[in-house]
Amino acid sequence: MYRDVREMSEVFLSHNSRDKPWVRELHQALTERGVTDVFLDEYAIDPGQRLVPALEGGLADTLMFALVWSGHAASSRWVAVERELALVSHLEGVTRRIVPIRVDDTPMPGFLKLFTHLTARTASTPHGQALPALADRLVRSLAKARTER
pLDDT (tens digit per residue) in 96-126:
899 999 999 999 998 899 999 999 999 888 9
pLDDT of amino acid 149: 64
Residues 22, 68: contact at Cβ < 8 Å?
yes
pLDDT of amino acid 67: 98
For the entire predicted model, the pTM comes to 0.90
3-class SS string, the chain = CCCCCCCCCCEEEECCHHHHHHHHHHHHHHHHCCCCCEECHHHHCCCCCCHHHHHHHHHCCCCEEEEEECHHHHCCHHHHHHHHHHHHHHHCCCCCEEEEEECCCCCCCHHHHHCCCEEECCCCCCCCECHHHHHHHHHHHHHHHHHHC
CA distance 45 to 50: 9
Does domain 11-148 sit in CATH 3.40.50.300? no
Contacts of 36 (CB under 8 A, 6+ apart): none
pLDDT (tens digit per residue) in 4-41:
433 457 999 999 999 999 999 999 999 999 998 999 99
